[in-house]
Amino acid sequence: MRTAIFDLDGTLADTLADLALSLNLTRAEFGFAPLTVREVAACVGEGARVMVARAVPDVPEAIDRLLSIQRVHYRAHLLDNTVLYPGVKDTLDELKSAGWSLAVVTNKPSAVTFPILEGLGILSLFEAVVGGGDCPELKPDPAPLLLAARRMGKTLDAEDWIAGDHYTDLKAGRLAGIKRCFCRYGFGEARGEAYDLAVDRLDGLPGALQSQSVK
Poorest-pLDDT segment among 122-131, 139-148, 201-210: 201-210
10 and 20 share one domain: no
Respond yes or no: is residue 7 known to be catalytic.
Answer: yes
Phi, psi angles (nearest 5°) of residue 130 = -120, 120
104 and 190 share one domain: yes
| Per-residue confidence (pLDDT) for residue 134, from 0 to 100 | 97
| Per-residue confidence (pLDDT) for residue 35, from 0 to 100 | 96
**What is the mean pLDDT of the segment spanning 136-157?**
98
Given a contact cutoff of 8 angstroms between Cβ atoms, the answer to whether 126 and 117 are in contact is yes
| pLDDT exceeds 70 at position 111 | yes
Range list of β-strands (E), the chain: 3-6, 13-14, 83-84, 101-109, 128-132, 161-164, 179-183, 197-199
* Parent domain of 200: 3-14+82-213
DSSP at 35: P
When pLDDT is cut at 50, 70 and 90, the band that residue 125 belongs to is very high
- Average confidence score pLDDT of the chain: 95
When pLDDT is cut at 50, 70 and 90, the band that residue 214 belongs to is very low
| Per-residue confidence (pLDDT) for residue 170, from 0 to 100 | 98
Range list of β-strands (E), 114-164: 128-132, 161-164
We report the CATH number of the domain holding residue 137 as 3.40.50.1000
150 and 177 share one domain: yes
